[in-house]
């Protein structure tokens, strides 16, 4: 008996098969081998054809069935993880009306600003836990204003995962978690956010029916079964946005638990049991996969644009040719904590929401020709990124999140002891490195609504732990280095003015700021542990 999970990214489609009895993945594949195209008709725009997702999902499914040789009848449920914040529009025949405006598209920034000011900061914060920002609702308003002929044909709007579920089942529905990521959910009134829709002049009938995140959301049609090679009637029983799903995949479900990833950008996602929001809108709050009215579970998401992209730049421009990241990490470990005074601010990848949308750029401080080597740059960059994580985590702690245990995937920056130990020590936390992926988590979650598992806790309990990082006994040395770095950041940001949009605080989606949107994919999304 097996479970199938999909992860619908903007770079590729991943598929995972999990043995339901053991909880172990027997295969994980992705398609295509090269990145999917992102369309950009103007700077800052980013679109994808949803048909491309479907085509590659079918190919990934055939690939994993061929690779494993399992009988399609033995797959008992399907789960879906998907790129957050996208907008898919279909007519009454379920035909896509235009390419999807995806997560890193920034065209709706000003629309969200205006709505935030008109509705009121406090009202948006207490009802939606976010500003309208550049999220899905604001993207829909952009279509309404700029493409009225298309808008007037809309039967339903969907998130990318809703679209894939529709293609599999022929049914259109969404979830509370999904609506919250589009700033279309009113937490205070526990219903679709009329305050947002009314402000934008959008008819509520465009919003799909709501299904629980963990529920039978439809069954595979004969047509979809023929396209994928799966068995007709197989239930789709879970869907969630990739950030929430990645946290679930790492068994981050209860208050005080934290997930993190350090890719091109850095993400920290912590769970609280109250309708929490940051007054300065430096982080986003969404309904987690196990949220309910009686037992609130809110995922508070911190994004750091300047993270692994700095380390990649160091590798490409400073490191010796053909030196691997693992080798760079080994060399960095030989350099003293604090990098003999060399300090790097990593914020060179667009505006930073946690810095109130300032764009300070990267800065190298206290560099001495007779002291510092390439190895110092390796360590200083890792420390600078780690310091930015710690700086952002302070915002989460101010919101009441107790960061005692951080779970991360066995990939990217957390493979570096210098990086992981710096965060563990400065936050006085344990970092647990586990072996999983978003597609594996989605597969396991699909087993809950089909009664293969009695709870999410049961479904996620067998995640292999690779290693643990604990606070270093030399905490004073780490704190001294961090304080100097923090003083550098203070001096730099105080010398700059916030961009005009910072007046409204929220300018973009949870994963990347609008300035980050490019007419092509950067090659690594920030949330795939």
**Residue 310, both tokens:** 């700095």
Q: In the prediction, which pLDDT does 500 show?
A: 41
Assess contact for 80 and 165: CB atoms under 8 A: yes
CATH code of the region 2-249: 3.30.420.40
Contacts of 135 (CB under 8 A, 6+ apart): 85, 108, 112, 181, 182, 183, 509
Q: In the prediction, which pLDDT does 513 show?
A: 33
Dihedral, CA of residue 412, residue 418, residue 421 and residue 426, to nearest 10: -110
Q: In the prediction, which pLDDT does 527 show?
A: 33
Distance from the first to the final alpha carbon of the chain: 25
CATH code of the region 304-429+471-514: 3.30.420.40
Question: Which stretches of the chain drop beneath a pLDDT of 50?
Answer: 498-529
Cβ burial, residue 513 (10 Å; 0-12/13-18/19+):
buried
- Give the start-to-end residue ranges of the domains of the chain: 2-249, 304-429+471-514
Q: Please determine whether the domains at 2-249 and 304-429+471-514 fall in the same fold group of CATH.
A: yes
For residue range 335-363, list pLDDT tens digits in order. 999 999 999 999 998 889 899 888 889 99
* DSSP assignments along 250-298, one per residue: TT--STTEEEEEESSSEEEEEEESS----TT--SEEEE-TT--SSS--E
Q: In the prediction, which pLDDT does 357 show?
A: 80
Q: In the prediction, which pLDDT does 104 show?
A: 87
């Amino acid at each position: 008996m097996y479970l199938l999970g999909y992860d619908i990214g903007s770079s590729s489609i991943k598929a995972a098969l999990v043995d339901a009895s053991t909880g172990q993945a027997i295969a994980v594949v992705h398609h295509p081998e090269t990145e999917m195209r992102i369309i950009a008709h103007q700077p800052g725009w980013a679109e994808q054809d949803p048909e491309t997702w479907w085509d590659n999902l079918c190919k990934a499914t055939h690939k994993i069935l061929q690779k494993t040789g399992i009988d399609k009848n033995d797959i008992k449920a399907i789960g879906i993880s998907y790129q957050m914040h996208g907008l898919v529009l279909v007519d009454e025949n379920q035909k896509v009306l235009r390419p999807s405006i995806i997560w890193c598209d920034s065209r709706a920034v000003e629309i969200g600003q205006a709505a935030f000011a008109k509705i009121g900061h406090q009202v948006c914060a207490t009802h939606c836990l976010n500003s309208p920002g550049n999220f899905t609702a604001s993207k829909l308003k952009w279509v309404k204003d700029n493409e009225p002929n298309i808008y007037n044909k809309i039967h339903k709007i969907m998130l990318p995962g809703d679209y894939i579920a529709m293609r599999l089942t022929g049914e259109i529905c969404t979830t509370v978690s999904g609506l919250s990521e589009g700033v279309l959910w009113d937490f205070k009134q526990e219903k679709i956010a009329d305050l947002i829709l009314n402000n934008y002049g959008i008819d509520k009938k465009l919003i799909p029916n709501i299904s629980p995140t963990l529920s039978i959301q439809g069954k595979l049609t004969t047509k979809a079964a023929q396209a994928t090679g799966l068995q007709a009637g197989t239930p789709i029983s879970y869907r969630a946005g990739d950030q929430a799903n990645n946290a679930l995949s790492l068994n981050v479900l209860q208050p005080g638990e934290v997930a993190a990833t350090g890719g091109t950008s850095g993400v920290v996602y912590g769970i609280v049991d109250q309708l929490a929001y940051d007054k300065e809108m430096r982080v986003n709050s969404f309904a987690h996969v196990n949220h309910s009215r009686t037992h609130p579970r809110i995922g508070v998401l911190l994004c750091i644009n300047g993270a692994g992209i700095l380390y990649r730049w160091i590798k490409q421009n400073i490191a010796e040719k053909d030196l691997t990241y693992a080798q760079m990490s080994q060399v960095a470990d030989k350099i003293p904590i604090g990098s003999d005074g060399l300090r790097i601010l990593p914020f060179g990848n667009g505006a930073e929401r946690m810095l109130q949308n300032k764009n300070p750029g990267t800065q190298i401080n206290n560099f001495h020709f007779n002291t510092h080597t390439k190895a110092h740059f390796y360590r200083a960059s890792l420390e600078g990124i780690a310091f930015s994580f710690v700086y952002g985590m302070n915002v989460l702690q101010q919101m009441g999140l107790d960061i005692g245990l951080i779970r991360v995937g066995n990939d990217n920056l957390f493979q570096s002891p210098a990086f992981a130990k710096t965060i563990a020590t400065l936050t006085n936390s344990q970092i647990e490195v586990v072996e999983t992926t978003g597609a594996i988590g989605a597969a396991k979650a699909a087993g809950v609504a089909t009664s293969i598992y009695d709870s999410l806790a049961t479904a996620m309990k067998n995640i292999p732990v690779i290693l643990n990082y604990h606070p270093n006994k030399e905490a004073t040395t780490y704190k001294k280095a961090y304080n100097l770095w923090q003083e550098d950041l203070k001096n730099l940001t105080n010398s700059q003015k916030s961009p005009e949009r910072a007046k409204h605080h929220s300018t973009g989606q949870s994963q990347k700021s609008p300035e980050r949107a490019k007419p092509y994919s950067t090659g690594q999304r920030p949330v795939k542990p």
